[in-house]
Amino acid sequence: MSNSFGRVLTVTTFGESHGPAIGCVIDGFPPGFEITAEEIRDELMRRATGQSRWTSQRKEAEDVQILSGMFEGKTTGTPIALLIYNTDARSKDYTKIAAQFRPGHADYTYHHKYGIRDYRGGGRSSARETTMRVAAGALARKYLKLHYGVEIVGWLGQLGELVCDESFDAAVINDNPFFCPDEKRVPDLEEYMKALWKSGDSVGALVRARATGVPVGIGAPVYAKLDGDLAAAMMSINATKGVEIGAGFASVAHKGTEHRDEITPEGFLSNHAGGILGGIASGQPVELSVAFKPTSSLRLPGRTVDTEGKPVEIITTGRHDPCVGIRAVPIVEAMLALTLLDHILLHRAQCGDVPAQTPRVTG
């Protein structure tokens, strides 16, 4: 089925945006690991709506409950079930468009696929679902850091036409509501977003992420490539339209002599590969970028059809993100953490006792 993610460490999410609750079951997580609901909630609040004026104003408590898989504060190795009640759904916002398809939205395809659709808040296709990815990602992220020294950082690379990371300071990313790594750029982003709100339009964004300290050798060839799994993980997030690993599409214009990351005993001399060679981690930072499309719920009228196929003009009211890519930063980080931990566990199973005979280069 299509609601589960991962090979050894699996996450199954359930729930709809306007249903009573959302949740997930994490299976295969290593036992004996300490984590609290508060730590998970801290991660959730980075992604949550209503935290700044630049995102949807829905106010959810994100009061995550750990229902199973933990005893005396530690994971037990059994399925970890997490649950969050939805407390601020406003379904009447959707009554007018219940029988219409927002252009650019999954409304149309869900309707044709299933013949029935929970139109309230986009139902299962809502970005609300990503809450549980971030919840599961909080466990993976903490484990990766404590057991392997892996550090994950995500940031906004571009919002519309505004490039945000010409200057990069990781320390400021969490100090502004855009996850922007250049604090001098924040006023420009505010101006841009103000104008966007006023116009009623939405815009796309580019999210970048990097994981350092990734153990060399994790990943797998051919059908379980680390980059393949990362691409699938990122493309499974709502509104994604593209993923690049390392130099990505810029590789097209590279010469081989430029693109290859030359190796010296002191380290690699570049990282166009984004830390992955042949689907297997090189030990260099894993680097990727994800393109998010503009939100399709717009108050500006657009042409569409209704469920009878008749032409109608659609206007979407309610609380929507004018740039869903902003809140996507913690989601990209979570999917990166989950994919890396899944591959570490997979690697431990098959190759955990392979002796390292060659010195490992870093950089």
> Judged by CB under 6 A, does residue 318 bind ligand EPS?
yes
Q: Three-class SS of residue 238?
A: coil
Q: What is the DSSP letter of 306?
A: B
Q: Near ligand EPS by CB under 6 A, which window of 5-13, 124-132, 158-166, 335-343?
A: 124-132
217 binds ligand EPS (CB under 6 A): no
Interface residue with ligand EPS among 16, 43, 93, 244 (CB under 6 A) is 93
What interhelical angle do 37-47 and 328-351 show, nearest 10? 130
Kindly tell me which of 122 and 246 has the beta carbon lying closer to ligand EPS: 122
Near ligand EPS by CB under 6 A: residue from 60, 227, 244, 287 = 60
326 counts as binding ligand EPS under rule CB under 6 A: no
CB of 129 to ligand EPS, least distance (A): 8
- What phi and psi, each to the nearest 5 degrees, are found at residue 132? -75, -25
Q: Report if residue 127 touches ligand EPS, rule: CB under 6 A.
A: yes
Report residue 248: phi and psi, to 5°.
55, -130
Can you tell me which of 297, 304, 316, 339 binds ligand EPS, judged by CB under 6 A?
297
Q: Is 293 in the site for ligand EPS (CB under 6 A)?
A: no
> How far apart are the C-alpha atoms of 77 and 303, rounded to whole Å?
51
Stretch that binds ligand EPS, among 2-10, 106-114, 122-130, 218-226 (CB under 6 A): 122-130
- What torsion do the CA atoms of 61, 67, 69, 75 make, to the nearest 10 degrees? 40
CB of 192 to ligand EPS, least distance (A): 20
Q: Is 122 exposed, middle or buried (0-12, 13-18, 19+ CB in 10 A)?
A: buried
- The residues near 334 (Cβ < 8 Å, ≥ 6 apart) are 43, 133, 134, 136, 137, 138, 140, 141
Binding site for ligand EPS (CB under 6 A): 17, 49, 56, 58, 60, 89, 93, 121-122, 126-128, 131, 297, 318-320
